[in-house]
Structure 1
Amino acid sequence: MEKLEIYLGNIAAFMWGLPLVILLVGGGLFFVIYSRFQAYFHLKHAVQITLGKYDSDKKAKGELSHFKALMMALSGTLGLGNISGVAVAITLGGAGAIFWMWVTAVVGISTKFYTATLSVKYRGLDRQGELQGGPMYVIREGLGNKWLPLAWLFCIACMFGSLPIFQINQLVQILRDFIAIPQGLATSEQHFSFDLICGILLCILISTIVMGKLARIAKVTSKVVPFIVCVYLLMTFSVLIINYEKVFPAFTSIFINAFDASSVAGGFIGTIIMIGVQRGAFSNEAGIGTESMAHGAAKTNEPIREGLVATLGPIIDTLLVCTCTALVILVTGVIDTGFTGVTLTAKAFELAFPGIGGYLLIMIVFFLSTSTVLSFWYYGSKCAEFLLGAVFQKVYIYIYLALIILGAVASLTLVITFIDIMYALMAIPTMISTILLANKVNIEAKKYFKQLPSK
């Protein structure tokens, strides 16, 4: 197992090297400049669209309202990447890694504007004749059949990258560390049986919802995500108020350490950048393409509208939620305790609220991880259908559920490196196709914003 972790770690390090960083961050900067900052100038309009001001067209194509589409997309991005992923970023790259997560979010606003717009503009029919969105349809409908290998690459990577192993792994870890071990149900060395039982129970629980349609998943996420985010922000703000004198130094350390190579093993600034971009991409998925499938289901005939709605994603999940998590870890001083992943974040809340902090985070992690699993099932199953048809889509559902159990007992290092590889493979076709079709978005934007004042 150790050799496998090293092998996959080397592959992940290679794939998340300079070329992919340039593709994601450089591509995002290209979209910022090419769009002339349009996405940033229309954030107020994006909020109005999300709140339903432009939902009056009953004949519009699609299944979800703008709000439900955003909530479903956020349920995939607002998860363990914002709690556990931030802790991993700080552990591996120091406080400076958070700065580079911010960079991915800022440029990711424009990236999502383009990817979500294209996902609506180039919706296509699946094998059952139903209208779908997502990078694979953007490639097929927008670039033509000669580019289909890129669509196949995305689908293969998404089927594996959307597996629930990370979310379940971290949910089981926090249950083990804060319930099982203190109660004597497991030890830090012997916990396989507890992990396995948790995996089986979670598999049964999630299967009752996963077997539903998109509408059921969207109904669940549209209620769960806003409530849990509000609760989590209330918790983090409380910690920051209690430790108000440490907030400014924490912010300062993020900026200083972003360019301080001594904070990481090997002493390379590039390592900090790579870790920050990795975890940023894992957090907001800008340029990865998965969330485009949720935005592609929006009920609208105006692609630009959903593109604007998608711009709110990186602001909420990375610039707001991830920043709050990072500051809680930094101001409570738990970074030197030797913990990592979700347990590190839980220790921070436990230190701030003795006796209840860890349990409050367990509640947050439970709802965020399970809502992410629901969205990821939708993403993976749609890719399975595109690639191999409806029969395999049904088979994929059962494979997906079985891997909930695997995620419960697998090691965190193995899980993270595997998912990182799949995310890198998804980013390549998503960014290439978006760059090639960027001019189509600009044409749509010019037409839409020209007639906007008359609406």
Structure 2
Amino acid sequence: MQAQPSFYDQANELIADFSSAMWGIPLVCLLIGGGLFLLIYSRFLPFRYLGHAVAVLRGKYDGENDEGEITHFQALTTALSATVGMGNIAGVAVAIAIGGPGAVFWMWMSAIVGMATKFFTGSLAIMYRGKDSEGKTQGGPMYFITEGMGKAWKPLAVIFSIAGLVGALPVFNVNQLTQAVNDILLVPQGVEVGFTSNLIIGLVLVAITAVVILGGLDRISKTASRLVPAMVFIYFVAVMAILFVNIDVVPKYLGLIFTDAFSADFYTGDKLLGGVVGGLILLGIKRGAFSNEAGVGTAPMAHGAAKTAQPIREGLVAMLGPAIDTIVVCTLTALAILVTDVWQTTDANGVTLTASAFAKALSPAGKYILLLCIAVFSISSLFSYSYYGTKCLSFLFGAHNKKYYNIAYIASILIGATTSLSMMINLIDGFFAIMAIPTMIATLYLAPRVMKEARRYFKELG
């Protein structure tokens, strides 16, 4: 007699089905097709003004008296602290484990298109800031929907905010950080890992997170602006060392990323429209979206708090996110996994696969360097996502209730630490998809107004 699936198995399957249903052809067309439209419609504007974007980021155009709470640099690092995290380390590993090298190419494509999307959403976050129930200026998709499109469109803003309450939960980051601590630190020391050890890790993360997020955006942005650049630098140096050790095979794998993108020889996931290449493209786009969140709508909530009177400046700063996040950091992770050959010699997935690459190339210190980067990336992500969730709750139920989200958020850290990778990644994927629908609809609707503002801005700039 066949055993009945447990409640946990049933829940896992239900969440997986939900994620698959949300990430169908319509959403891919909306995200990538919409992003391509924005890229062409703007006449590749984001790429033509990269130098100016860097100058804005460096503070050349900062105005102390401009409305907002944080600088351009703090806005970008707050947004990046959410995206430069497990999406870059564990998410890329998941993509390669399922899709092979070709998945990386489609992550790149999603990032290039995503830069245009981020330019528009970052600009809109400043163009249409609104006031919360306490009278404080706020930005984000829920505000540019209601302020830019009108009150009749408020249901779209509500859908985004409800999905954001779940999408902003830190369960995936916590899950992978717990796995990293177990595999890299505890198991090699002979410590028995299981529910108890995972719960202890979760409790430690609860303590760290509570100290920072209860201090509000100012503490979050200042912490992120210090942590993120330092960790990206350390991670960059470590991967450069791995590539140097394996320099003879780097050209081979760079070439394989391009050729496998169209042959999908290593793809083991579900087919799309009857083909493995379609399945590989969808995998790359999903993992790219999880990595840089272009079109999802989280980053505009951070950029909407920037001190600036010029929406286009913040749009230019926002577009740097996918370039740093996916084209630089994700490529580093991918090459580390590919050149060390661990993707073909181990059954590991997620962060464990990346750890295997670091351990093989930089033994014995490699895995501990990775653990340090993972810890900082993950913990900084916890800070930013809590800010996003409180903004969604404030919009729905009033700013005076946002403290209740922090309580639920901190409790969810324990859930993330003690549940499976597949359940966590499918849960967040599904709600990211729901968030992307109102964000992209509003962005496409309001795109002509952004371009009108951009023409005015660049004309004045000379």
Report the TM-score when normalising by structure 1.
Answer: 0.97
Distance 2:316 2:255 in 1: 32
Pairing 1:116–2:116 present = no
Distance 1:184 1:305 in 2: 52
Instruction: Answer yes or no: is the 8 Å Cα contact 2:99–2:264 preserved in 1.
Output: no
5+ residue gaps, structure 2: 1-7
Instruction: Answer yes or no: is the 8 Å Cα contact 2:101–2:256 preserved in 1.
Output: yes
Q: In the alignment, what sits opposite 2:17?
A: 10
- Which moved further from structure 2: 6-15 or 367-376? 6-15
Distance 2:158 2:98 in 1: 33
- How much does 1:135 deviate? 0.2
Distance 1:385 1:304 in 2: 26
Aligned equivalent of 1:143, options 149, 158, 166: 149
Distance 2:72 2:427 in 1: 32
Distance 2:207 2:64 in 1: 37
Distance 1:407 1:452 in 2: 48
Describe the superposition over 1:225-282 as per-residue Cα deviations: whole angstroms up to 9, x where unpaired.
0000000000011111111111111111111111124422355211101110000000
- How much does 1:339 deviate? 0.2
Pairing 1:88–2:94 present = yes
Aligned equivalent of 1:300, options 297, 301, 308: 308
Q: In the alignment, what sits opposite 1:321?
A: 329
- How much does 1:391 deviate? 4.2
Distance 1:197 1:262 in 2: 42
Q: In the alignment, what sits opposite 1:37?
A: 44
Q: In the alignment, what sits opposite 1:334?
A: 342
Which SS does the other structure have where 2:188 is aligned?
coil
Q: In the alignment, what sits opposite 2:3?
A: none
Distance 2:256 2:12 in 1: 31
Which SS does the other structure have where 1:181 is aligned?
helix
Q: In the alignment, what sits opposite 1:184?
A: 190
Distance 1:255 1:414 in 2: 31
Q: In the alignment, what sits opposite 2:404?
A: 395
- How much does 1:205 deviate? 1.6
Q: In the alignment, what sits opposite 1:431?
A: 440
- How much does 1:178 deviate? 1.4
- How much does 1:392 deviate? 3.2
Pairing 1:232–2:235 present = yes
Pairing 1:353–2:362 present = yes
Q: In the alignment, what sits opposite 2:387?
A: 378
Amino acid at match of 1:137: Y
Distance 1:181 1:31 in 2: 48
CA RMSD of aligned residues (A): 1.0
- Which moved further from structure 2: 198-207 or 430-439? 198-207
- How much does 1:283 deviate? 0.5
Q: In the alignment, what sits opposite 1:309?
A: 317
Aligned equivalent of 2:450, options 441, 445, 449: 441
Distance 2:18 2:415 in 1: 22
Distance 1:364 1:64 in 2: 25
Amino acid at match of 1:420: D
Amino acid at match of 1:61: E
Describe the superposition over 1:302-329 as per-residue Cα deviations: whole angstroms up to 9, x where unpaired.
0000000111111100000000100000
Misfit runs of 4+, over 6 Å? none
Amino acid at match of 1:321: V
Q: In the alignment, what sits opposite 2:4?
A: none
Distance 1:314 1:117 in 2: 15
Pairing 1:74–2:80 present = yes
Describe the superposition over 1:92-151 as per-residue Cα deviations: whole angstroms up to 9, x where unpaired.
111111111001100111100000000000000001000000000000100111111110
Which SS does the other structure have where 2:69 is aligned?
coil
- How much does 1:426 deviate? 0.6
Report the TM-score when normalising by structure 2.
Answer: 0.96
Distance 2:265 2:354 in 1: 23
Distance 1:186 1:260 in 2: 43
Instruction: Answer yes or no: is the 8 Å Cα contact 2:102–2:264 preserved in 1.
Output: no
Q: In the alignment, what sits opposite 2:175?
A: 169
Amino acid at match of 2:331: T
Q: In the alignment, what sits opposite 1:52?
A: 59
Distance 2:201 2:331 in 1: 30
Pairing 1:249–2:252 present = yes
Aligned residues: 449
- How much does 1:58 deviate? 2.4
5+ residue gaps, structure 1: none
Q: In the alignment, what sits opposite 1:369?
A: 378
Which SS does the other structure have where 1:451 is aligned?
helix
Which SS does the other structure have where 1:257 is aligned?
helix
Describe the superposition over 1:357-402 as per-residue Cα deviations: whole angstroms up to 9, x where unpaired.
1111110000000001100000000100101123431111101001
Distance 1:46 1:424 in 2: 29
Describe the superposition over 1:148-205 as per-residue Cα deviations: whole angstroms up to 9, x where unpaired.
1110111111110110111111111010011221222225xxx111001111111112
Distance 2:188 2:65 in 1: 56
Pairing 1:287–2:270 present = no
